[in-house]
Amino acid sequence: MTEQSASSIVRNEQPVVGFLVEENEHETARPSADETLTDAATPTSETEAALRVIGAWSDFDWEKMEAALDRIRHGSRLTTAIADL
């Protein structure tokens, strides 16, 4: 363990992120409350939008969805083989 202080004081509303760094051949998490660093580590709006879409899928009944996809797959005709590209 290094001789650095293991504690920091931050405001409740202030974000803190941890950055993985390698010290003495060991991976260590180094926390930071520096706003420029935390802003850079915060997901962009595009990432947040993608995560919201993924979260929306959690409401689906997966067994029902799987059964529907299986019915579509078995009810569809096979595509003819392509001989030459």
Q: Within this chain, do residues 35 and 51 fall inside the same structural domain, yes or no?
A: no
Structurally, the chain folds into a number of domains equal to 2
Query: Is 84 inside a domain boundary?
Result: no
Q: Within this chain, do residues 15 and 38 fall inside the same structural domain, yes or no?
A: yes
Q: Within this chain, do residues 27 and 48 fall inside the same structural domain, yes or no?
A: no
Query: Is 33 inside a domain boundary?
Result: yes
Q: Within this chain, do residues 26 and 36 fall inside the same structural domain, yes or no?
A: yes
What is the pTM assigned to this prediction?
Answer: 0.30
Residue range of the domain that includes 59 = 43-77
pLDDT in tens, the chain (85 residues): 444 555 667 777 777 777 777 878 888 877 777 766 666 666 677 777 777 777 777 777 889 989 999 999 999 888 887 876 5
Which residues are CB-neighbours of 16 under 8 A, at least 6 positions away? Answer: 8, 10, 31, 32, 33, 38
Q: Within this chain, do residues 56 and 32 fall inside the same structural domain, yes or no?
A: no
3-state secondary structure (DSSP) of residue 12? coil
Does the CA dihedral 60-62-68-69 come out positive or negative? positive
